[in-house]
Chain A
Amino acid sequence: MTRPAAAVSNVSLERRAWNIRRKALLMGEVQGQGYIGQALGVADVLATSYFHAMDWRADDPEWEGRDRFYLSIGHYAIALYAALMEAGILPEEELATYGMDDSRMPMSGMASYTPGMEITGGSLGHGLGIAVGAALGLKRKRSDRVVYNLMSDGELGEGSTWEAVMSAVQWKLDNLICLVDFNNQQADGPSRDALAQVPEAPKWEAFGWHAQEVDGNDLSALVAAFDTARALPEPKPRVIICNTRMCKGVDFLEAREQNHFVRVEPDEWARALDRLEEGKPQ
Chain B
Amino acid sequence: MTHASKARKYEPRKVPEGKLVATSAMIASLAAEGYDTVPAPFGHALVEAAQGDPRIVGLSADLSKYTDLHVFANAMPERFYQMGMAEQLLFSAAAGLAREGFIPFATTYAVFAARRAYDFIAMAIAEENLPVKIACALPGLTTGYGPSHQATEDLAIFRGLPDMVLIDPCDACDVAGMVPAMIAHPGPVYARLLRGKVPSVLTRHKPDYRFELGRAQMIREGRDVLVISSGIMTMRALDAAEVLAKDGIDVAVLHTPTIKPLDTETILAEAGRGGRLVVTAENHSVNGGLGEAVAATLLQAGVTPGFRMIGLPDAFLEAGALPTLHDMYGLSVERVAERIRGWL
B92 A137 Cβ-Cβ under 8 A:
no
Please, how many angstroms separate the alpha-carbon atoms of A94 and B97 in the complex? 32
By secondary structure, the B interface counts as helix
The 8 A CB mask of A111-138 against B (1 = contact, 0 = none) is: 1100000111011011011111111111
**B288 close to chain A: CB less than 8 A:** no
> Is the CB–CB distance between B102 and A137 below 8 Å?
yes
Of A123, A138, A160, most B-chain CB atoms within 10 Å: A160
Contact mask for chain A residues 71-87; partner B; CB cutoff 8 A; 1 contact, 0 none:
00000000000000000
Q: Verify if A166 is at the interface (C-beta below 8 Å from B).
A: yes
In the bound complex, residues from chain A placing their C-beta under 8 Å from that of B95 are: 129-130, 133
**A163 near B123: Cβ-Cβ < 8 Å:** no
Cα-based distance from A122 to B119 in the complex (angstroms): 11
**Quick check: is B245 within 8 A (CB to CB) of the other chain?**
no
* A133→B88 contact, CB < 8 A: no
6 A-B pairs besides A133-B94, A137-B100, A140-B100 with CB distance below 8 A are: A120-B127, A129-B89, A129-B91, A134-B100, A136-B93, A140-B57
Chain B residue with the shortest CB-CB distance to A147: B96
Q: Looking at B57, B97, B119, which has the most chain A CB atoms within 10 Å of its CB?
A: B97
Contact of B92 among A118, A126, A159 (CB under 8 A): A126
Q: Does B307 contact A (CB under 8 A)?
A: no
* B28 part of interface (Cβ distance < 8 Å): no
> Which residues of the other chain, B, contact A97 by a CB distance below 8 angstroms?
none
14 A-B residue pairs with Cβ-Cβ distance under 8 Å, sorted by A, are A126-B92, A126-B119, A129-B95, A133-B92, A135-B96, A137-B96, A137-B97, A137-B100, A140-B102, A160-B88, A160-B89, A160-B92, A164-B89, A171-B81
- In the bound complex, residues from chain A placing their C-beta under 8 Å from that of B94 are 133
Check: A170 CB closer than 8 A to any chain B CB: yes
Given A111-B128, A166-B84, the answer on whether A137 and B99 have CB atoms closer than 8 Å is yes
Partner of A159, one of B81, B84, B88, B91: B88
Interface residues of chain B, those whose CB is within 8 Å of chain A, are 57, 81, 83-84, 86, 88-89, 91-102, 104, 119-120, 123-124, 127-128
- Which positions in A face B, CB cutoff 8 Å? 110-112, 118-120, 122-123, 125-126, 128-138, 140-141, 159-160, 163-164, 166-167, 170-171
Question: Would A132 and B93 count as touching, CB distance under 8 A?
Answer: yes
B231 to chain A, nearest CB (A): 30
- Taking CB atoms, residues of chain A closer than 8 Å to B92 are 126, 128-130, 132-133, 160, 164
Contact, CB under 8 Å: A138 / B88: no
Taking A129-B88, A163-B89 as contacts, is the C-beta distance between A136 and B119 under 8 angstroms?
A: no
CA distance A238 to B120 in the complex (A): 24
Residue of A nearest to B99 (CB): A134
How far apart sit A131 and B102, CA to CA, in the bound complex (Å)? 14
Asked if A133 and B101 make an inter-chain contact with CB atoms under 8 angstroms apart, the answer reads no
When A and B form their complex, which 3 residue pairs have the shortest distance between CB atoms, in order from nearest? A133-B96, A129-B92, A137-B100
Q: Is the CB of B96 within 8 A of A136?
A: yes
Chain A nearest CB, measured from B6 CB (Å): 28
Contact of B89 among A138, A141, A167 (CB under 8 A): A167
- Shortest Cβ distance from residue A12 to the other chain B in the assembled complex, whole angstroms: 33
Q: Which residues from A are CB-within-8-Å of B84?
A: 163, 166-167, 170
Identity of the chain B residue whose Cβ is nearest the Cβ of A130 in the assembled complex? B96
Decide if B93 touches A130 in the complex (CB within 8 Å): yes
